[in-house]
Each structure stands twice: as C-alpha cells, then as structure tokens.
Structure 1
C-alpha cells in the first residue's frame, strides 16, 4: 500500500513539473476538455433528468400528509440533488466513462512502448500525458455538475407537471425557500475533488500497466473501481468537514 502511495505521489510530482513547451500542453488541455466535457454531456443530461424526476416522485410519495406543506418536496429535492445526487452519481458515472478511457489510453501507450519513446526523446511523459487530463477533469467535472443540478431540478419540475400530487407552483416555491449557498459550495468542492480523483487514479493505473491487451483492460477496471471507492470516501469526508 505504501509502495503504491509513494509511486502515486511521485507520478503526480512529475506530472506537474514545468512543461517544456506551454503551447503543446495548452492544446492537449483543450482537447481533453472537449473530450471530457462535451463527450460526457449526453449521458450526464439523461441521468440527471431521470434522477431529479425519481427523487421528486419518491419524496412526494413519502411525505403525503395534510400536516406537511407540499412545498417541502421541492426543498428536499433541491438539497438532495445539489448535495448528493448530482455531484456523486455524476462522478461515479464519469469514473466509468472518463476514467476507463484514460486508463486504457495511457495503458495502451505503455504496452506499445510509446511512453518509452517519449522519454527517449526527452519529453516529460507524465506531464505531457497526465497533467492535461487532470486539469481538464478538475475544470470540466464541476461544470458538468452544475449542468446536472439544473437538469435534475428540471426533471423534478417535469415529474410534478406530469402528476397531481404536487403542483408545479408548490415545487418552485420549495426550490426557492430557505436556500443556503453552503450546499452549492459543498457540491462544487466535491465535484472538484472527484475530478482530481478520477483522472489521477486512472492515469496512475494506466501509466504503470505492464503486459499486453489483457493487462490494459485490468488496469482500466482497477482504475474505475478504485476511483469509485475514493469518490465515496471523499464524499463522506467533505460532507463531514463542511456541513
């Protein structure tokens, strides 16, 4: 465990050494931002709308009472979507989509000796391959989380419009009543850490792949599994510290 932790820290230090040529790194960052951001927008949008709708329906089902105001459905949906559903579930989905792609891409370059060729040419391979992915993940995953929150709340509105248990007016009132900015701040902190966790862990697994095609698949699987575990652990720690 300590051996892997030491290698991980060393790889992160090498990844963020001063680049040889900023323009090349900048082009890689832009390419990765498009890949992570636009490439993940479709799946995040679909999941967010359905999660918001389901959360609203289940909350309304459990809180149907004459003594509880209908607006509480919108409030609970808002807080649960912002704090937990959008950042955490989106991160778990992105760990599968983005993380496996990163690990398999870098792992393939390792087993085909492309990384060795970069190092022979004097290129800082961790910096060139890993740092653009981490920077893009840290920037784009919070942005995807904001989109996920918006679509999740929209999904809740659609669920209210399609049912008769809670009116859309009560739902919107619940969304605006008693909003605390701290929940949005916690969500953005979570998303930023999740972005770093996904990209760095999967890049580490891919960079130290050895063998052939089978080992590349195993590295991608390990990257996704470890990313999901650390996402849930970070979710617990951040919630405990900030709330």
Structure 2
C-alpha cells in the first residue's frame, strides 16, 4: 500500500527494537521517510537499520533509554546532527508487567510509570520545538502516541498497566488543545491484542497462559497491522487530524 505525505518526512520512533515500534519504523522508511529508531538494544537496532537500508530506506540507530532524561537529550542531539529537525514522533516504547496490586510490586509499578508515562513525556518535551517549528513552516507535523485498549477496558491484574495507558490517552486528548491551534496533530492509537514482545515480560505462568488463551480465542493483530494505522493517520492532509483510533481484532469485544 502507498501513503501520500510520508516521503521526505523526518521521523523518530521509540521502542523501535521490536514489536509495533519496529514495524512502524520499517513502514515509514519504506514510504520514503528518514527514520531515527530509538531503543535500548543496540544489536536489534543495528539489524533493523541494516534491513531498512538494504531496501533503499534511510534509517539511523539511536541507542537511548526513555526513562533517562540525559539519555533522551543525547539522542536528540544525535538525531538533529544527522537529520535536522523532526516532524513525526511516534511514542511506541512501553512495558507491561501485570500482577495483582496486593502483591505490592512497587519496582514494577515504577518501571511502568517511568517508561509508559514519564518516558512519553520526556520524548514529547524533547521534540515539541521541532514539531511546532515544522508546522509553523507549513509542513505536516505529527505526534502519535501508542496507548492501549487497556486504557478503557479493565483486565484482572492489569490495573497499573491500564492506569499508565489511561494516562497516555488523557495526555493525548489534552495535548490536542495545546498543539492543535499551532497545526501540530496529535493522534492516540489504542491497540487490542497484538503480537509483540510485551507478553514475554510477564513472569507469571498463569498470566502468560491467560494471554495465550485470549489470543487463541479472539485472534490478535500483527505489529504490521498497527503500523499501517500509524502510517495512515500520519499521511492524511495536514488539516485532517484522526485524533483517536481504537484498533482491535474483530472478535475482541
């Protein structure tokens, strides 16, 4: 599929070492965008960048941790030196660690908050000037946040993860009031069951089996199918903002 308005764009994708982030980076590059892939795992990033370049795309591997402000700042400097200002930011980095709240796993709560909420905020702060400047120059400027159906639907043992994603959804809605008047689009995408590495972080056999059972019963989206949604919203005419999209397997209620 071909998308207009992506060729020549300069994009940053977080969480780009796997899953939705990787699929988004590969698709944007295939459509002619210059893509900075931001994640922690250098070997994974290098392999993906090599694949993109082999297919004629432009890509830059940027090792960074969104939970570390200094790391994000250093990433911005590297991206600006290589590609200049950015006009498309996709916040895809995330972690899902489900457990009962009464287990009291404060370390896991903090990790999800630092990555899923504070990490998103750090990246937004880092590139707000770029996005606003691009829009002021008459270019298309997009901020795309990957939230989750868990922002709305409760799942047993996913209270803290769902709360972090609800924060992303609310943040996206609120930012439209700040960025929209300056012609920067904000889109919040909420996938349902999706084949990513998130489930591999679960340390409970019973909860892993629960996820596997849901996927078997309901089906799941591929990361590439969610990436297709990101590319679609980012390629609309610049006066059109698809602000909120919930994308689910057909059988998932």
Instruction: Output the TM-score relative to the length of structure 2.
Output: 0.31
Question: Which has the larger share of helix?
Answer: 1
TM-score, structure 1 length as denominator? 0.32
Greater share of strand: 2
More relative contact order in 1 or in 2 (CA 8 Å, sep 6+)? 1
Structure with bigger gyration radius: 1
